[in-house]
Amino acid sequence: MTACAGGSFDTPPGSCPPVVEYSRTEQARVADELAALRQGTVIAEWLADYAVLRDQARACR
Q: Which residue segment(s) compose the domain that 40 sits in?
A: 21-61
Number of domains comprising the chain:
1
Q: Is 59 within the bounds of a domain?
A: yes
Query: Using an 8 Å Cβ cutoff, are 47 and 2 in contact?
Result: no
Query: Using an 8 Å Cβ cutoff, are 47 and 34 in contact?
Result: yes
Q: What is residue 23's predicted lDDT score, i.e. its pLDDT? A: 97
Q: Is 11 within the bounds of a domain?
A: no
Q: Is 4 within the bounds of a domain?
A: no
CA distances from 7 to 3, 22, 34, 37, 58 (A): 7, 27, 29, 31, 23
Q: Is the pTM of this model over 0.75?
A: no
Q: Is 30 within the bounds of a domain?
A: yes
Q: Is 34 within the bounds of a domain?
A: yes
Q: What is the pLDDT of residues 2-57, one digit of tens each?
A: 444 444 555 566 688 888 999 999 999 999 999 999 888 999 889 989 999 999 98
Q: What is residue 14's predicted lDDT score, i.e. its pLDDT? A: 66
Q: What is residue 17's predicted lDDT score, i.e. its pLDDT? A: 86
Q: Is 12 within the bounds of a domain?
A: no
